[in-house]
Amino acid sequence: SHVLNGRFKGGHITRHYGDPANNIHAVQLELAQSTYMDEFVPFHYRPDLAEPTRAVLKPLLETFIAWGQERFG
C-alpha cells in the first residue's frame, strides 16, 4: 500500500528534517519483510523475493540521485 502526501505511523525524521521550501527533501519508504525475506525463524534473506523490489527501487533511487546532482551539483 502507499500514502501520497499523507502520514504513516512514525515518520518523525521526514517531518522533522524535511523542509522542501529550503530544498531539503525527505522520502520515507517502508517495506514489508515479506518483500525480501522469510517472515519466520530463522528469517532467511530471499533473493527471489527481493529481486522484484530491487528492480523497482534501483531506478527510483538512481532518478533521485540524478535529480539531486542536476539541481545541486
58 is a domain residue:
yes
Q: With 90 as the cut, is the pLDDT of residue 31 above it?
A: no
Domain that holds residue 47: 12-72
Number of domains observed in the structure of the chain? 1
32 is a domain residue:
yes
6 is a domain residue:
no
Count Cβ atoms below 10 Å from residue 10 Cβ, excluding itself: 10
67 is a domain residue:
yes
3 is a domain residue:
no
5 is a domain residue:
no
- Mean pLDDT over the full length of the chain: 87
What is the distance between the alpha carbons of residues 29 and 43, in angstroms, rounded to a whole number?
21
21 is a domain residue:
yes
* Band (73; pLDDT cuts 50, 70, 90): confident
* Band (22; pLDDT cuts 50, 70, 90): very high
* Band (5; pLDDT cuts 50, 70, 90): low
At 45-54, the pLDDT tens digits run: 999 999 999 9
pTM across the whole model: 0.66
